[in-house]
Structure 1
Amino acid sequence: MEPTNHFGIALRGWRERVSPQDGGPETGAVRRIPGLRREELARLAGLSVDYVVRLEQGRARHPSGQVVAALARALRLDPSERDHLFRCARLAPPATGNVSRQVPARVQQLVSRLGDFPTAVFAADWTIVGWNGMWSATIGDPRTYGWDERSLVAGMFRPGGGRARQPIAAWPVLSWAGDEAEEENLVADLRVTAAAHPHDGRLAAFVEHLRRNNSRFARLWSNGTARTQGGDRKTVEHPLVGDIALDLDVLTAAGTDLRVVTYTAEADSADEQKLNTLRATCRPRPASSDTPAAEPDPGGDLGDAEAVRW
Structure 2
Amino acid sequence: RTQHIQARGPTMAATAAIAKALDLKEKGNQAFKNGEYRAAMTAYHEIFMYVHGYSEGNAGAATLPGQTTRPVTKEEMDQIHELKLAHFCNLAMCHMKVGNIPKALANCSKALAIDPQNVKALFRRGKCHAQLGALDESKADLDKLLQLDPSNKDAMRELRALKTRFASHRKKEQKKFAGMFDKLNAEEGEADAATANAMETEAVAMPAGEAGVPSKLGVRIVAEDEKHRVVINRGGGGAEGGAQGGSMTAPPPATAAGGAEAAVAELADDEEEDIGEPLEAPQAFQPSDVLVRAG
TM-score normalised by the shorter chain: which range applies? under 0.3
Kindly indicate which of the two structures has a greater share of residues assigned to strand. Answer: 1
Larger relative contact order (C-alpha < 8 A, sep ≥ 6)? Answer: 1
TM-score (norm 1): 0.21
Larger radius of gyration: 2
Kindly indicate which of the two structures has a greater share of residues assigned to helix. Answer: 2
TM-score (norm 2): 0.21
